[in-house]
Amino acid sequence: MSAKVRLFVDQPLGAAQPVPLTREQAHYLFGVMRLDVGAFVALFNGTDGEWQAEVAEAGKRKGILVCRTQSKPQSVPPDVWLLFAPIKKARTDFIVEKAVEMGVRRIVPVQTAFTNSERIRQDRLQAHAVEAAEQCGATFVPEVGDLTKLDRLLTNWDSTRQIAFCDESLVGETGRLPDAPGPWAILIGPEGGFSEAERTRLRALDHATPISLGPRILRADTAAVAALTLWQTTLGDWA
């Protein structure tokens, strides 16, 4: 039986594996979704693929599911990270959601010279990434890092991971991704763009490539989707 509800769990999954539910999960499945004993739920934990699990016990505050069959093998997206400067709450949520849907390995909020938001709730953004994975059918949930200053990030950067930074000063020009294999990161600046000092430092890095996202300046959240689309169709699993 194919389940209509998908749920991320922090438990091992495997044939005949019992999965105890948290109070919140039990409330969602049995109080909100009105499932009962015998119903099926699609479970994933980010490492063991997706499993069709049967409700064995259902209560208001607890429950137990039992894994029956694996419905999807574990899959991992291409090795690309998304680095972005946080913006307004709803639009930051949008960026995280779309990054998960489009397939990234890691999400890193960065603080730049012109970043408007100096704080984030890392735990809330991670929960949002989990919800996005539940909705889009992914079996992998990327880690959302803590807010990190761009200067510190670049200082400690592994040069084997190339950076494609979206440079608004190139609007209307050609700035293509090189056809280079290996791990990558996409860097999206804040609404005010990168400072001249940041742009100069990025351009001086051998492993960083400035790219253009077309003839118009895009909002930060739109730029994230556009840049990931460009990367996935050129170097990723859409190619």
Please check whether residue 95 is in contact with residue 132, taking contact to mean a CB–CB distance below 8 angstroms: no
Report the SS3 class of residue 158. coil
Final residue belonging to a domain, choices 54, 72, 90: 72
96 and 176 belong to one structural domain: yes
CB contact burial 183-205 (16+ within 10 A = b; e otherwise): ebbbbbbbeebbeeebbebbeee
95 and 205 belong to one structural domain: yes
What's residue 1's pLDDT? 64
CA 199 to chain centre: 25
Report the distance separating Cα 220 and Cα 43, nearest Å.
33
Report the distance separating Cα 11 and Cα 172, nearest Å.
49
49 and 101 belong to one structural domain: no
Final residue belonging to a domain, choices 72, 90, 117: 72
Is 214 part of any domain? yes
Strands 18-20 vs 63-72: parallel, antiparallel or unpaired: antiparallel
Q: What percent of the chain has pLDDT over 90?
A: 83
158 and 225 belong to one structural domain: yes
94 and 24 belong to one structural domain: no
pTM beyond 0.85: the answer is yes
Is 144 part of any domain? yes
The residue ranking higher by pLDDT, 203 or 60, is 203
Report the SS3 class of residue 177. coil
Is 1 part of any domain? no
What's residue 88's pLDDT? 86
Q: Which residues contact 74 (CB under 8 A, 6 or more apart)?
A: 47, 48, 49, 139, 140
Is 224 part of any domain? yes
Residue ranges of E strands in 32-175: 40-44, 50-58, 63-72, 80-84, 106-111, 143-144, 148-149, 162-166
Where do runs of H (alpha helix) occur along 22-106?
Answer: 23-26, 89-102
193 and 117 belong to one structural domain: yes
Domain that holds residue 66: 6-72
Is 239 part of any domain? no
94 and 49 belong to one structural domain: no
What's residue 65's pLDDT? 98
Q: What letter represents residue 25's amino acid?
A: Q
Report the distance separating Cα 50 and Cα 52, nearest Å.
7
Overall number of domains in the chain? 2
What's residue 4's pLDDT? 86
Please check whether residue 53 is in contact with residue 43, taking contact to mean a CB–CB distance below 8 angstroms: yes
Is 133 part of any domain? yes
Query: What CATH number is given to the structural domain containing 162?
Result: 3.40.1280.10
What's residue 14's pLDDT? 98
Residue 29 pLDDT level (bands cut at 50, 70, 90) = very high
- Largest CA-CA distance found in the chain, in angstroms, rounded: 61
What's residue 2's pLDDT? 72
Final residue belonging to a domain, choices 38, 72, 106: 72
Residue 181 pLDDT level (bands cut at 50, 70, 90) = confident
- 123-127, 163-167, 214-218: segment of lowest average pLDDT: 214-218
Average pLDDT for the chain: 94
120 and 183 belong to one structural domain: yes
Please classify residue 64 by burial: count the beta carbons closer than 10 Å to its beta carbon, then call 0-12 exposed, 13-18 middle and 19+ buried: middle
24 and 129 belong to one structural domain: no
Is 168 part of any domain? yes
Query: What CATH number is given to the structural domain containing 10?
Result: 2.40.240.20
Q: Which residues on neighbouring strands pair with residue 69, listed in sequence order?
A: 52
Please check whether residue 221 is in contact with residue 228, taking contact to mean a CB–CB distance below 8 angstroms: no
Section 214-234 average pLDDT:
93
At 129-162, the pLDDT tens digits run: 999 999 999 999 999 999 999 999 999 999 999 9
Structure tokens at 2: 């194919």
113 and 228 belong to one structural domain: yes
Section 17-25 average pLDDT:
97
For residue 4, which of 47, 49, 53 has the smallest C-alpha distance? 53
- pLDDT of residue 113 exceeding 80, the answer is yes
95 and 122 belong to one structural domain: yes
150 and 220 belong to one structural domain: yes
